[in-house]
Chain A
Amino acid sequence: MTAPPPAPTRSWLREHSELGVCVLLFVLGVLVLTDALTMDVDLTQRGPVGPRTVPVVVGAGLLVVAVLLAVDVLRGGRGEAEAGEDVDLAEPADRRTVALLTGVFLAFAVLIDPLGFPIAGALLFWGSAHALGSRHHDRDPLIAAGLSFVTYFVFDHLLGVPLPGGPLMGVL
């Protein structure tokens, strides 16, 4: 242990980070309730139960669950992180990879319309594989380009699901 021990409040917060879930659930509940209660239903209401009833129940339910979950966490209850074939829970969470993947995916969402699917898709696959630790600089881009072009062709030409070709397909 080379790092200095974290301050007691910080380690308490880290241990009880699940309380963040409670806060989010609570905020969501308030959001659903305000949306439901500010709804203008006088004109549209048909039948005894209007469009407001279910959102009010769901919103109230979210508030109750947020409080109950907080009580459970403070009493020492913990949600079990999900296990899986490729999941090693003994390792601490690798936040950098998750952030990188999120960034790559957002870049794809921005680039798909200007660049077209074949190029943006290849970048998505290559970027994700790189973020996940693949370091074959010769093989990775080739696989990415091949996968992206084949997928474009299969969806756009064979399955009839249109994907944007972009400038590259305009040239070809």
Chain B
Amino acid sequence: MDSLNSLIDGFGTALTPVNLLWAALGVLLGTAIGVLPGIGPAMAVALLLPVTYGLEPTGAFIMFAGIYYGAMFGGSTTSILLNTPGESAAVVAAIEGNPMAKAGRGAQALAAAAIGHFTGGMIGTILLVVLAPTVASLAVDIGAPDYFAIMVLAFIAVTSVLGSSRIRGLASLLIGLTIGLVGLDAMTGQQRLTFGSLQLADGIDVVIVAVGLFAIGEALWVAAHLRRSSERPIPVGLPWLGRADVRRTWKPWLRGPFIGFPFGAVPAGGAEIPTFLSYVTEKRLSKHRDEFGKGAIEGVAGPESAASASAAGTLVSMLTLGLPTTAVAAVMLAAFQQYGIQPGPLLFEREPELVWGLIASLFVGMVLLLALNLPLAPLWAKLLKIPRPYLYAGILFFAAVGAYAVGGEAVDLVILLVIGLIGFGMRRYGLPVLPAIIAVILGPAAEQQLRRALQISDGSVTGLVNTPFSVSVYAIVLLILAWPLVRKLVVRLRS
């Protein structure tokens, strides 16, 4: 009951006119960003970080959450109408949604996706309300060794689970850790990797790294391979569902969240795996299995519901443990650091107004999104006609504004460009960007916790594994690391 009361207080915060405005702005921006090619939610939040310097944190996070959820809604519109999903979460939506649109059932596909996002987001957020305070109270007395173990888990999971190549994930992680090392050592004031430069002694601002890797890197990468003949989106009417469609979709809508939510909460790459799992599940359970691949509506409804629920799961880990499991969560964590707020078990005690206002605003945002997306989907699709030179010139422009706003120094723009070129190279040679950004944001904190833990234990390595919590986290880490070997062994035993 306690969390219910807090939630009601949260609605008090979320429903003030100012915060409603931020929520509305967030979902509008989020939907636009989801529909637009080339901009993902992580890039959008990174670009907005400097804008929010003057805001109070509650409003800023309400807007960020609106962007995160909104981008999920908007992303499926692009997948269904254009068949070129840019965000990994929307890949599955294209498999069934695009054939449906081609067969003239685009309106139904859009409706199944939008209502799926709404259902998934609602169930996911309710699970967040129920579970987050419990997780926070369980984790409330975890110490330095536990925090360090969680961060090691985050590093290992993002490098091993994501992408096709572990070694490239590891390379990306190490690049991020190196960038995080630049500056004065927080504990001793020792200069590291500054090469005597005063500019570098302050360290490289996380905003500049995030904007460089996501915005500049992406814009340059697209510029090198810009599609000259872009496909025309399929024209579509108002989304609606007939009774026969509802009969086929209500179960997938309700099943999706229970696949999406847990995967969002663990560092396993966000919505990519659960949307795929949901797709496979729906295919197996469907009475219309022969329609799959040719436009089965269950294959749109389930995965989209799972995608939105995974966003809620992501917020559980970020708010209660300070553990970012997706790129968006990582950039939001950087925003928390900027305000001097440490996400983690104590957040619910120290900043109840912020946390519960944020959670309540998710419910508000979901209703706004459904109202925005169901009747206005054809209008949003018009955004796809924006000339690409303007779109990518605009991304470069706002990236420059953001980096300059950090410190008002032109040198930051040069650092931004260098990091952007690193991001370009990483995209060219298949190094995933997520491990690098997580390493930049968590690396310095992980080092602090490591040194604190070893100080307490007087240098003995056992100080890192002296709590049941840290031991179980390391067990999971070992499992992830050993997984390919285990799988190879199982295959060999079978044959």
Contact = CB atoms under 8 A, between A and B. Distances in A.
A7 interface: no
A167 interface: no
A82 interface: yes
Contacts of A126: 393
A89 B405 CA distance: 34
A25 interface: yes
B102 interface: no
B174 A58 contact: yes
Contact of B164 (A18, A80, A162): A80
Contacts of A125: 393-394, 396-397
B225 A21 contact: no
A51 B193 CA distance: 12
Contacts of B427: 81-82
B248 interface: no
B388 A132 contact: yes
A132 B392 contact: yes
B208 to A, nearest CB: 13
A148 B393 CA distance: 12
Nearest to A111: B410
Nearest to A63: B174
Given A82-B221, A163-B405, A47 B227 contact: no
Interface string A31-57: 110011001110011111111001100
A101 interface: yes
A143 B390 contact: yes
Given A32-B193, A98-B220, A161-B51, A93 B225 contact: yes
Contacts, number: 232
Contacts of A65: 167, 170-171, 174
Given A49-B451, A58-B178, A84 B224 contact: no
B190 A94 contact: no
A105 B224 CA distance: 16
A95 interface: yes
Given A28-B175, A35-B193, A98 B430 contact: no
Contacts of A48: 454-455, 458-459
Interface residues of B, number: 78
Contacts of A95: 224
A94 B225 contact: yes
A164 B405 CA distance: 10
B186 to A, nearest CB: 9
B404 interface: yes
Contacts of B405: 155, 161, 163
Interface string B354-392: 000000000000000000000000000000000111101
A62 B439 CA distance: 14
Interface string B123-167: 000000000000000000000000000000000000000001101
B38 A84 contact: yes
Nearest to A113: B410
Interface centre among A49, A50, A148 (most CB of B within 10 A): A49
A161 B447 contact: no
A130 B223 CA distance: 12
A128 B424 contact: no
B324 to A, nearest CB: 20
Interface stretch (B3-11, B19-27, B77-85, B482-490): B77-85
Contacts of A97: 223-224, 226
A128 B392 contact: yes
A72 B447 CA distance: 30
A85 B190 contact: no
A143 B398 CA distance: 14
A153 B111 CA distance: 40
Interface stretch (B295-303, B413-421, B469-477): B413-421
Given A45-B188, A81-B429, 20 more contacts: A39-B190, A47-B451, A50-B188, A51-B192, A54-B450, A55-B193, A72-B165, A81-B430, A85-B37, A85-B38, A87-B226, A93-B224, A93-B428, A98-B424, A108-B400, A133-B226, A151-B397, A151-B398, A155-B401, A161-B50
Interface of A: 18, 21, 25, 28, 31-32, 35-36, 39-41, 44-51, 54-55, 58, 61-62, 65-66, 68-69, 72, 77-82, 84-89, 91, 93-95, 97-98, 101-102, 105-106, 108-110, 112-113, 117, 121, 124-126, 128-134, 143, 147-148, 151, 155, 159-164
Interface of B: 37-38, 50-51, 53-54, 78, 82, 84-86, 164-165, 167-168, 170-171, 174-175, 177-178, 181, 185, 187-190, 192-193, 195, 216, 218-228, 230, 387-390, 392-394, 396-398, 400-401, 404-405, 408, 410-411, 413-414, 417, 421, 424-425, 427-431, 447, 450-451, 454-455, 458-459
20 contacts: A25-B171, A31-B193, A32-B193, A41-B190, A47-B459, A48-B458, A66-B171, A77-B165, A80-B164, A86-B86, A86-B230, A101-B223, A105-B400, A109-B417, A117-B404, A128-B397, A134-B387, A134-B390, A151-B398, A155-B51
Ordered nearest first, which 9 A-B pairs have the shortest CB separation? A79-B430, A48-B459, A85-B37, A134-B389, A128-B393, A85-B86, A132-B389, A109-B413, A51-B185
